[in-house]
Amino acid sequence: MEINRYIDHTILKPTATSEDIVEVCKEAKEYNFFSVCVNSGFVPLAKKELEGTDVKVCTVVGFPLGAMSTAAKVFETQQALKDGAEEVDMVINIGELKSKNFKQVEEEIAEIKKTVGDKVLKVIIETCYLTPQEIVLASEIAVKAKADFVKTSTGFGNDGARLENIELMKKAVEGKAKLKASGGIKNLDTALSFIEAGVERIGTSSGISIVKELKK
């Protein structure tokens, strides 16, 4: 099993330096991870470091709170794409979802998907702040707005990926979007349990130890 091809090798901490980004890109090339996921300001650097390889550049938009204006998110997306991002993980406006402004949430995702075009858009719904009913709703809204993936978490909330939430998301998207689990996935057993549950991508900064565990 090529577990490395499930992994978005992630470095999103606020203290990440240029040297850290270069190191993560080097690791991603060595282990042939699916992508490197960086904050949008580091997209040009990651693009340069990964040139000529199969490793994609993934970035986050509206991260980690999701509470900025749609225009700001769209601009950040446009700039990231210009800088070389191939996949975008956006955070929904959680407050708008909780305010039952579902149309607004859907329109924002649709607007960003329009900007992303044929590249991949993953929608982070931040499950730790949502009720089961809201997880289902957020997933259905993402599908309606033509998102390619729904994703569990930013890794900055008060909890990460949980299997029961993946089950809810899977049922809600009905095969019309893929699933990404992220947040707290630090070992092989956890990664495999999510893959068995139907996840097609895993966001983690522990990719190397997961791969090494599998090789053992």
Residues contacting residue 85 through CB under 8 Å, at least 6 positions apart: 40, 43, 47, 57, 58, 59, 119
Instruction: Clarify whether 180 is annotated catalytic.
Output: yes
The active-site residue, picked from 47, 56, 113, 151, is 151
Report d(CA 126, CA 123) in Å as an integer.
9
**Strands, DSSP E only, in 64-183?**
87-91, 120-124, 149-151, 178-182
> Residue 170's pLDDT is what?
98
Residue located via tokens 């890794």: 155
Residue 89 annotated among the catalytic residues of the structure: yes
Angle at 138 between CA 92 and CA 159, to 5 degrees: 70
Residue 1 has what pLDDT? 78
- Any residues with CB less than 8 A from the CB of 114 and at least 6 apart, and which? none
Reading the chain (216 residues) residue by residue, the pLDDT tens digits are: 799 999 999 999 999 999 999 999 999 999 999 999 999 999 999 999 999 999 999 999 999 999 999 999 999 999 999 999 999 999 999 999 999 999 999 999 999 999 999 999 999 999 999 999 999 999 999 999 999 999 999 999 999 999 999 999 999 999 999 999 999 999 999 999 999 999 999 999 999 999 999 998
Catalytic residue status for 212: no
Kindly report the pTM of this predicted structure. 0.97
The Cα 18–Cα 31 span in angstroms is: 20
Please pick, among 56, 89, 113, 122, the residue that the annotation labels catalytic. 89
DSSP state of 181: E
